[in-house]
Each structure stands twice: as C-alpha cells, then as structure tokens.
Structure 1
Amino acid sequence: MRRDRDELRRRIHAQLNKGQELHALRARLWFGSEGVIWRKQQEEQSEAARCLTLLTNCVLLWNTVYMQEAVWPLQAQGYPVDETHFEYLLPSRYEHINRLGKYSFANPAQVDPQHRRSLRQP
C-alpha cells in the first residue's frame, strides 16, 4: 500500500515538473508587457493567447525534432538507447532560444535537405 502511494507521488511530481517547465517556457516567450495582456476586447485577448500557444508549440516541435536528431545517430552507432527513458526528456527547454537580436533564415548552405541545421559536436 505504501509503495503504491510512493509511486503515485513520484508520478504526480514528475507531471508537475513538466507543467512547471512548460509554464517557464511560456513566461520566457512572453517577455513583453510583463506577461500581462493589455487588450480590452475578448477577441484581442484570445488572439494574443493563441499567438503565445502557437509560438510555444513551435519551440516544442523544434526541440522534439532536434532531440530525435541527437538520438538517431547514437542508435545507428550501436549505443543502447532505452526508449522508456524518453518520457523523462523535456522538449520545453529554452536556454538556446534567442528572444532578442537578429535572425537569419536565408542561408541554405547550413541546413540539410530536410532543412535542419546540423547538431553541434561535443
């Protein structure tokens, strides 16, 4: 009985951590207006919230694709990759996101045929 409760507590704690990571990502992306929606009309508020959701989903997708790109070569080289550990990966990391500055999307020489940049080598 106690062991079941401890396992449930661990699972709940893990889910809370994932939720907090997602909230931190959204806070990082919503850096203007200190996280406050200053629109008076409900439709404008909804539009701002949808934009944040879209941007968050873009970051999550980007991170997931590049996590896969990091795992596939390891599997191809014969390293044992336990797929049960994937549930512990968090695609909501944001340290690499440049919120301010210049962005360039025009250099096709740095991407592969699937339009992805190569991974940094350790």
Structure 2
Amino acid sequence: MIYDQPVLLNERQAGVAIEGALKQNIIAIQRLAVDTHGFTHFAMAAAKLLGFDLAPRLADLASRKLFLPHDVSVPASLEPMVERVGVSRAAREGWDGLLHLILSLKNGHGSAATIIARHGSAAKGMPVYEAGTLLGKVLRSLFLLDYLVKPVFRREVHRVLGQGESVHQLQRAIFAGRIEAKHARNLREVAATSGALTLLTNIVMAWNTAAMQKVVDREGADRFPAEHLGHIAPVAFRHINMHGKLHFPIEHYAGVAVAGRRQA
C-alpha cells in the first residue's frame, strides 16, 4: 500500500479512490478497479481526463443501460438496453470548466475526494457536473461493452478487486474490533490510526513477499511462471499470530498429569 487515508463508510468513495491514484508517484496507473461505491459517472470522466481508466464492478448489472446519442441506430433486439442522451446546453457550457477543474487536480490544487464529492447528484444542473456526467455515461457504456464481450478483461477487473478485498481481510485480522470514539476525536487521530494500520499491513505483505521469493529462488522460476505469481497476492495471514495468543492443548496431557500426581 503506497497511500492511505481514512474515509467514512456508506459514502461514495470515487473521489477517495482517484485521490489515492493521484497522490502516489511510484507507478504509472493505467486502470483503477473499483466497486459500485467507488463509481460515479462524473468520477469516470475525471479519471479519464486525468490519464487513467476507472474500471468499476457494478452491482445490478442487468439494469444498466448503454447511453447512446439519438442519431445512432442499433438492432431492435438491443434497443431495450439503450438510453438515448443528448448534449444539453449546460453540458456544452461546462466543458471548459471541467477541463479547468481537471488541470487543477493534476497540479495538486485541491483534493480530488472533496471536488468529486461536491459534484455528486446534488450538483445536477450545474454546467461542470452536466459535462462530466455526460462524458462519464459515454465512457461507462464503452467500458460495459468491453466488460461484457471480453472475458480476459473481465477476469482482470475481478482479479484486482479480489486482491483489494484480500488486503481488507488482512487489515481486519490485524485490527480486530472497533475504533472507539476516544481514539477518533479528530482527523489527526483517525489519520494516525489509518497510517499505523497501513504500516503493519505493509510489514505483513513484505514478509510474505520475501518468504514467497525464497521459495521461487529455491524451486526455480520455471516452476512458478510470472503470469501465475501475478494472481497470488502476499496477503495470507493464518500463519501469523497477530495477537500473541498461545494455545496449549492441556486436555491432551490431562491423564499424564494425573498419573504423575498419583505416583508422587
């Protein structure tokens, strides 16, 4: 994990995901996989203009529509899946403002999480929102076509999201329980908790990676092809005693202890 930030649950996390991609400078991100909570049409447009693709795994996929202009014809069998959209006056007027906003994010002026949150459904009718949402609808339609007809692409999106969920399981194993109010009285304390959890998560993953590399070095790279290793995230934790609990199977030796006492 190369960037962390505390977030509120049950809120859209599209801006948070994009901000994480912008804050890191270690790798060039081409695709950012998110679930439904990490997706909005506006965020999908913002990500594309920032230089990478938002790849969402959407819930209720059967009800999702393909957004097409009015003058694009499709076979009659596909018409129920299509929703026609047009370029409104507000969307036309908001294009320059949208580009200005994206440039500000690229230059580090402002928080992507805050800016994208402000351009949620409550901003409907605002020119910048309408421009970004219209572009996002087109991009999401293109994404769905790739997602539905390209099995390799679909599996890759699921693989990345699955590894992300595995990291969350590891973090829940490290930090069992709840964050009490006394430990989260202000943003600084919450950020410290988030940072500490991220550090411990990275330590576990680094240890696992080193252990996996020893096996690869010992057995030979031919036995573990890179394309296979790419599907194995270093997030296993059942072999780690997270909380220092020691279990002694005393019941297995109860008879021995009783016999020894009688002999004494």
* TM-score of the superposed pair, with normalisation by structure 2: 0.34
5+ residue gaps, structure 2, are 1-144, 246-264
Q: Deviations over 1:77-106 (max 9, x none)?
A: xx643222110111011111212227xxxx
Instruction: Check if 1:20 corresponds to 2:165.
Output: yes
| 1:9 maps to 2:157 | no
Give 1:45's aligned residue.
Answer: 190
Q: Given the superposition, is the C-alpha separation of residues 47 and 71 from structure 1 closer, same or farther in structure 2, using an over 3 Å criterion?
A: same
* Residue 236 (structure 2) pairs with residue 93 (structure 1): yes
SS in 1 for 2:151: helix
Supply the distance in 2 between the matched residues of 1:12 and 1:30 (Cα, whole angstroms).
27
**Greater than 3 Å deviation, 4+ residue runs:** 1-4
Which of 198, 215, 220 pairs up with 1:70? Answer: 215
Structure possessing the higher radius of gyration over alpha carbons: 2
Does residue 84 in structure 1 map to residue 227 in structure 2?
A: yes
Q: Which runs of 5+ in 1 are unaligned?
A: 103-122
Q: Which residue of 2 aligns with 1:60?
A: 205
Shift of 1:70: 1.0
- Letter of the 2:188 counterpart: E
| Cα deviation, residue 37, structure 1 | 5.0
Higher relative contact order (CA 8 A, sep 6+): 1
Aligned length: 99
Query: Per-residue deviation at 1:16?
Result: 1.3
CA distance in 1, matches of 2:223, 2:190: 48
> In 2, Cα distance between the equivalents of 1:37 and 1:69?
40
CA RMSD, Structure 1 to Structure 2 (Å)? 2.4
